[in-house]
Structure 1
Amino acid sequence: MSSSVKVRVSKNKAPRRSLARRQIEQINRGLRKEKPLPLVERTNKLPLAEFVNSYVPSEDLEYCKHPAKTATAHENEPELLYTLDIYTADSIPPADFNACFNLIEETSSNAYKESSEGWSPKKKMKEMRLPDMRYLILRRGPRTTPENVDHAVEGTEPPPEQFLGFVSFMVTYEDGKEVVYCYEIHLSPAAQGQGLGTQLMIRLENIGRRIGLEKVMLTVFKSNDKAVGFYHRLGFTKDDYSPQPRMLRNGMVKEPDYMILSRSLRPGQ
């Protein structure tokens, strides 16, 4: 006499593997659909050495100035060689960081004090340490190390007498546009009036253009006539994002003490 035994298979057991398989497929689909980082985020994520290799060719890290031909110039007068080092806010040597801050304080603290913003050394230093901030440091003379990032990597300090000035900048968004923003550009008094500021701005624009950004932007105090004239000569104009005068409750019109200037990095714009 035989009997048949019906074995019940739990309905919960069979789908387990298929459920796991579906989960894996969903993960794989998510990976396949993962979009690359936007340009600004992708650029800021690059290590410094890769950023330099991608956007700052070696010829942009040197500038050779030929002596002016004047009645008093000597025929054998040597050319002047200038070099640039590029750093992040984390990698800039302390001596360079301090030199940059001291130069800002020397050349701009009075303009800050006279503005509605006021001058705060602590606030300025905090801004100078923003994570995506980069620095181009201008020096007199040949490079002291083979690579411009060696100072920070090896912990060595460049000779302080070589420091002439700097430009600090950030790849960021402004008014929804991908831009390179010039936070500061300063030269020591001994380096002014020699076209070195123009050379720094040319290199900054070159970096923004190679990255593929839309424009270069900056903020300038209206009271700084010298700086305003300098930027206008370089082709900067008042940006649409620049603050407008505002009407106070008493009916008076308050003019902003600064303006935002910009220059397109794209042909025909």
Structure 2
Amino acid sequence: MEDKGLHNAKEKRLKRKEVLEKKKAIDEIIRKATSVQDHLSSFLPFCQYDRNGLSVHLESGNGDHLSSPTKKYIQNLLKVNMERYYGLEWPTEEKVKRREMVVPEARYIFVRQSNTNATIAGVNKPEDGLDDGGLMDGQDRLVGFVHYQFVVEEDVPVAYVYELQLESCAQGKGLAKFLMQLVELIARKNKMGAVVLTVQKANENAMSFYTNKLRYVISSISPSRVDPLIGAEKSYEILCKTFDPEAKGKLEE
């Protein structure tokens, strides 16, 4: 009995050590990914998009280095695109999003259209509710952005897409799909196990886009799968696309 007790104690110590080492390894993956200031530098051929009558270029950004005009633009585009889907929840959600957008861990892909191209295309003026998105700081006009962060979900390092927002002039051109595929490339390069995102149920176009065009699935951590009764009361679903069996087992199955 004593030998068995010692054996069990040894197994528990080894198990704890294994868990701690795995956590340390995951934390290091997140640390390394977050320490990269410009993830687009590894994907320079993807920084120009010229398709379907749209010509834009991409640039990286960090949450704690956003200019005042850029912060204002992000806030305004979020309001224009998302307020109707949140309904009465919007005032609270807007405050949350404003905090999330400027944390040091926030990484951005900004979509800019040169003033010349915008004028030729007839979209040199921002749509209602938006400012000139970057012109105030001497840059080409912003027409959208992606906000993502490297986080841990269910012991899996993931790239979590907080926002993918485009102005109407940049929608329906294949750009959103291109940007998500770019995020997936960034995630894979940085050893993430998945890309995860949240979609409002009321945003049926977005839900169809992610699940049908990009083949994302409702994650096992989404409220509707954790507890259908609670999920029915929630206004959102959590979607994911996994890259390896371990991530699939923890986030999909």
Larger helix proportion of the pair? 2
Q: Distance in 2 between matches of 1:137 and 1:267?
A: 32
Structure 1 match to 2:86: 112
Tell me which residue corresponds to 1:140: 113
Once residues 184 and 229 of structure 2 are traced to their aligned partners in structure 1, the CA distance between those partners, rounded to angstroms, is: 36
What residue is the counterpart of 1:158 in the other structure? 139
Stretches of 4+ moved more than 6 A in 1? Answer: none
Could you tell me how far apart the structure 2 residues matched to 1:89 and 1:64 are?
A: 27
Q: Does residue 199 in structure 1 map to residue 178 in structure 2?
A: yes
Match of 1:189 in 2: 168
Native 8 Å contact 2:111 2:143 kept in 1 = yes
Alignment correspondent of 1:38: 28
Partner SS state of residue 186, structure 1: strand
CA RMSD of aligned residues (A): 2.8
How far off is 1:156 after superposition?
Answer: 4.9
The partner residue of 2:104 within 131, 136, 154 is 131
Q: CA deviation at 1:122?
A: 3.0
* Cα 1:247–1:191 shift into 2, 3 Å: closer
| Inter-CA distance 120–239: structure 2 relative to 1 (3 Å threshold) | closer
Task: Name the stretch that deviates more: 103-112 or 88-97.
Answer: 88-97
Q: Distance in 2 between matches of 1:100 and 1:135?
A: 11
Write the letter of the residue equivalent to 1:238.
Answer: I
Deviation for aligned residue 1:199: 1.2
Q: Using the alignment, how far apart are the partners of 1:38 and 1:202 within structure 2?
A: 24
Please give the TM-score of this superposition, normalised by the length of structure 2: 0.70
Task: Indicate how the Cα distance of structure 1 residues 235 and 246 shifts in structure 2: closer, same or farther if over 3 A, else same.
Answer: closer
Structure 2: gaps of 5 or more residues: 1-23, 116-135, 249-253
Instruction: Give TM-score scaled by structure 1 length.
Output: 0.66
Would you say the 8 A contact 1:89–1:130 is kept in 2?
yes
The Cα shift of 1:266 comes to: 4.3
- Residue 141 of structure 1, CA deviation: 3.5
Task: Give the whole-Å Cα distance in 1 for the aligned partners of 2:44 and 2:181.
Answer: 14
The reply to whether residue 262 of structure 1 matches residue 240 of structure 2 is yes
Sequence identity percentage = 26
Choose 1 or 2 for highest CA Rg.
1
Give, in angstroms, the shift of residue 126 of structure 1.
0.8
1:267–1:177 CA distance, 2 compared to 1 (3 A): closer
Distance in structure 1 (CA, Å) of the matches to 2:110 and 2:165: 10
Give 1:190-229 correspondences, 5 Å limit.
190-229=169-208
> How many residues are matched?
201
Deviations 1:178-200 (A, max 9, x none): 00000000110111111111111
Instruction: Give the drift of 1:140.
Output: 1.8
Measured after TM superposition, the shift of residue 261 of structure 1 is 0.2
